[in-house]
Structure 1
Amino acid sequence: MRVLLSTYGSRGDVEPLVALAVELRALGAQVRVCAPPDEDFVELLDRFGLPLVPVGQPMRSMVRPSSAAEASRRAAELAAQFDAVAAAAEGCDALLASGLAHFSSRSAAEKLGIHYEYATFAPYLLPSPHHAPPPMVLPGQPLPPESADNGMLWDLNAQIFNTLHGEALNAHRASVGLPPVDDVRTFVFTDHPWLAADPTLAPWQETPELDVVHTGAWILPDERPLPDDLLAFLDAGEPPVYVGLGSSRRVSQDVASAAIEAIRGQGRRALVSGGWSGLGLIDDQDDCFAVGEANHQDLFRRVAAVVHHGGAGTTATAARAGAPQVVVPQAADQPYWAGRVADLGIGTAHDGPLPTVESLSAALGTALDPETRARATALAGTIRTDGAAVAAKLLLDAVGRGRAQVSA
């Protein structure tokens, strides 16, 4: 069995596919991965002996579209990844995509006639009468009326998908001999998307509109030891507070300053992770330590709290470690995860992406409360770790059933 896993996104999109690839390989499948050619991702896949097929530009160089015209150009660029994805999928039995790889990957699977699945890591992206869609409006378009219910908002969401992406997507499909699509959102997510998120952290309410396969989060085990200098810092005092914004970019260094001052105000030491945001220390005092690439699964068990951007992977890792969280959402699905952390009582959601000393001090006061720690500790034992294994078996079983139907 040969499987191609395809994604275009940040570390939070790539690492879960590596977890799935490891499980698929353990079941005897041959796996290759399409992903952006960022050095971080090359190193990650190489660590697990997985071949990387580079697609598109490095994610670090991508700029968020600021207009409908730019969004349409981005859709055209993503659809144009078809050639690389289709070449990588040649001879494969199945293709699973995540992130922004849907434009090229679903068309490639359709052209090659192979089994296709799409996975997302946050339920708020999927149409449902039980929640509103992500905020999404066209430039110059009036805001929906306050009386609009979830159904009306999702209808508007579908229209926006068609307006932003329909022309570019269908132009490319025509160029490779595929018919047009009239519902881009359904094309993107399919009518049976996989939800690779923990059921406790991200519950899904069943809806007749979608047949969602809720596999659990795809967690990549990390057995790397922590660096000696980091261990020495951890052992030199009380557990510190971790601060990092992951793959978020164009973040003001004022965030690091506000975080360190707020942490010091709580009488705590600080661990500052640079990440893609480039956060750094603000002085040379010995109560702060700069963290590079490290095993978060181990590290988060040793900290007093985790201040982070609210990526799906970081939220799940902190929850599994029993670490109280302060989520400072920057974009995309991060406000959703901030809300879930607050609703579960395992931390707090910061209001907006730009914290001040005062706002972070208040948030840390909640996160460092013993009751928050107790709730976080209790919830940690409920986080499932078998999501990638479940998904790997489901995928291979689905391909096997398809083969049997063809043979019959």
Structure 2
Amino acid sequence: MKVSIQVLGSLGDVMPYISTALVLKEQGVDVSILAPRDFSALIASHGIAVAETADFSLDAWMEEAATRGTLGGPISFFRDWSEMIQPHINDVMARCLSAADKADVVMGNLICAPARVAAEAEGIPFILTGQQPVLSPTRQEPCAMTWRPWHGERLNRASYLMINLANRVIGVTLSKHRKSLGLSNQPRFSDMRMHLGRPLPKISTIPWPIMRERPQDWGPHDFLTAYPSLRPSRPDALSPGLRRFLAAGSAPVYIGLGSLAAAHGNHVLGEAIESVEQLGCRGLVAKSMVNDAARLSDRFYVVDHEPHDQVFRHCSAVIHHGGAGTSDTALRAGVPQILQPHFLDQFWFSDRLKQLGVAPGPLPVRGLASRHVADAIEFAVSPACRKQAEMVQNDAMAHSGASDLAALILSQLDRGVARR
């Protein structure tokens, strides 16, 4: 039995599939992961087979996308399509086909659109996944990729139309590959309801308890699981230097923007440093935020390759960009969060964490000042917010998204058709 997991995106997009692959491997499944080459070493370090990776660096792509404003919204995304997306599709398509060879099922995320074509070419089941409400339209939740604070409930179902439009554009780009593989354009690739003449399973893996209940207007092939968190690391996984810093004073504020650090880190870090100094706090700074010219006092410690699940549990608050993986890790660590969302689903995660009571309102991107950060820190470190974060932690830790997702994958193995 062979499962091919094919995903593109940031670390938060790749992490849940490592956890899921570990569960599958323990059940005797031959599983591999195709992902950007930035994560090959991480995947291999968990003993998971690494499929031939896409030949581009996510970090470099994200830096260029931030400069261009590619992910600022649907208009800018389609504006930059020919320069930022289309050149990579040929390469990714070839890798997906190679990874799907002799597989029994392919699971991919929405970003890795060629994965679905590869599964169709092999005549095997395909499972579509996402880490936010984006795959299955519903009146109960907005499409997280297009949500903004002004979004009203009346627009919820309509907000998914933009994802359908993006899928249509991808389908046009992939049409030449479909033709070369002898695949018909019927049903159209943009139809996210069917695969090989059968209903397409769509699984939303969303950090618990940000989304607790499956929407009532979802169909029978729309599934919801908790986000498949990475397995807890050992407490002694922290470096000796970091352990000494943590033991030497009060719980620090963590400052990091994940994949956005290269484009936005300098300004955020400057205001955060000033706020931490003013409040008499201490800080942990992600290495990706620090350039060679940065000078930090002994109130700060630069964190490089340290497990976030262990780091966060020692923090008083976590400042981050609002990605699914970081949000989930902080929830499971029981630590209050401070978000500065920049694009796509980050605004939705920021709003939901605020509703949970574990985060203040989002930090502004434009006009960010130290007072904004200081006010957010004071809210986050308050006893009420800390207590709420600990209550939510108990809820989050009671769910195992990796086991649920692995079970759903295995349940789809009998849905294949004769290979081509």
- Shorter-chain TM-score: which interval? 0.7 to 0.9
SS at match of 1:215: strand
**Alpha-carbon deviation of 1:61?**
2.1
Task: Say whether residues 1:393 and 2:407 are aligned partners.
Answer: yes
Give the counterpart of 2:317 among 305, 315, 319: 305
Tell me the residue number matched to 1:220: 230
Task: Say whether residues 1:243 and 2:242 are aligned partners.
Answer: no
Task: Say whether residues 1:366 and 2:379 are aligned partners.
Answer: yes
Is contact 1:72-1:165 (8 Å) kept?
no
Is contact 1:124-1:336 (8 Å) kept?
no
Is contact 1:281-1:290 (8 Å) kept?
no
Letter paired with 1:397: S
CA distance, structure 2, for counterparts of residue 88 and residue 340 of structure 1: 36
CA distance, structure 2, for counterparts of residue 305 and residue 336 of structure 1: 20
Change (3 A) 1:213 1:125: closer
Tell me the residue number matched to 1:24: 24
Is contact 1:3-1:30 (8 Å) kept?
yes
Tell me the residue number matched to 1:140: none
SS at match of 1:119: strand
Tell me the residue number matched to 2:206: 197
Letter paired with 1:23: V
Change (3 A) 1:301 1:155: closer
Tell me the residue number matched to 1:184: 190
43-52 or 320-329, which deviates more:
43-52
Instruction: Map Cα deviations across residues 172-200 of structure 1 (whole Å, 9 max, x no partner).
Output: 32232222254626279975311112341
CA distance, structure 1, for counterparts of residue 270 and residue 405 of structure 2: 41
Tell me the residue number matched to 1:272: 285
Task: Say whether residues 1:149 and 2:155 are aligned partners.
Answer: yes
Tell me the residue number matched to 1:165: 170
Change (3 A) 1:337 1:55: same
**Alpha-carbon deviation of 1:145?**
12
**Alpha-carbon deviation of 1:131?**
3.2
Change (3 A) 1:86 1:278: farther
Change (3 A) 1:152 1:198: closer
Change (3 A) 1:81 1:60: same
Change (3 A) 1:34 1:157: closer
378-387 or 72-81, which deviates more:
72-81
CA distance, structure 2, for counterparts of residue 160 and residue 99 of structure 1: 10
**TM score, norm. by length of structure 1:** 0.87
Tell me the residue number matched to 1:330: 342
**Alpha-carbon deviation of 1:22?**
0.5
Residues 1-400 of structure 1 mapped to structure 2, 5 A cutoff? 1-38=1-38, 41-53=39-51, 54-62=53-61, 63-64=64-65, 65=70, 66=76, 68=78, 70-72=80-82, 74-75=85-86, 77-78=88-89, 80-98=91-109, 100-101=111-112, 103-124=113-134, 126-134=136-144, 149-155=155-161, 158-159=164-165, 161-162=167-168, 164-180=169-185, 182=188, 184=190, 186=192, 191-203=200-212, 204-208=214-218, 211-224=221-234, 225-248=237-260, 249-275=262-288, 277-278=289-290, 282-354=294-366, 355-383=368-396, 384-399=398-413
CA distance, structure 2, for counterparts of residue 147 and residue 368 of structure 1: 32
CA distance, structure 2, for counterparts of residue 33 and residue 313 of structure 1: 17
Letter paired with 1:386: S
Letter paired with 1:70: D
Tell me the residue number matched to 2:73: none
**Alpha-carbon deviation of 1:7?**
0.7
Unaligned runs of 5+ in 2: 71-75
Instruction: Map Cα deviations across residues 209-260 of structure 1 (whole Å, 9 max, x no partner).
Output: 5732112111111424100000100000011111111122411412111011
**Alpha-carbon deviation of 1:148?**
7.0
**TM score, norm. by length of structure 2:** 0.85
Instruction: Map Cα deviations across residues 154-184 of structure 1 (whole Å, 9 max, x no partner).
Output: 445534543x434212233223222225462
Is contact 1:297-1:321 (8 Å) kept?
yes
Letter paired with 1:361: A
Change (3 A) 1:196 1:342: same
**Alpha-carbon deviation of 1:72?**
4.7
**Alpha-carbon deviation of 1:320?**
0.8
SS at match of 1:8: coil
Unaligned runs of 5+ in 1: 138-143
Is contact 1:272-1:279 (8 Å) kept?
no
384-393 or 15-24, which deviates more:
384-393
Bigger RCO of structures 1 and 2 (CA < 8 A, at least 6 apart): 2
CA distance, structure 2, for counterparts of residue 235 and residue 145 of structure 1: 45
Change (3 A) 1:150 1:183: farther
CA distance, structure 2, for counterparts of residue 373 and residue 146 of structure 1: 30
Is contact 2:132-2:144 (8 Å) kept?
no
Is contact 1:199-1:214 (8 Å) kept?
no
82-91 or 198-207, which deviates more:
198-207
Change (3 A) 1:130 1:191: farther
**Alpha-carbon deviation of 1:91?**
1.0
Instruction: Map Cα deviations across residues 311-333 of structure 1 (whole Å, 9 max, x no partner).
Output: 11111111111101101112221
SS at match of 2:227: coil
Change (3 A) 1:214 1:173: same
Is contact 1:124-1:134 (8 Å) kept?
yes
Matched-pair identity in % = 26
Corresponding pairs, count: 393
RMSD between aligned residues: 2.9
Is contact 1:76-1:169 (8 Å) kept?
no
CA distance, structure 1, for counterparts of residue 151 and residue 318 of structure 2: 38
SS at match of 1:341: helix
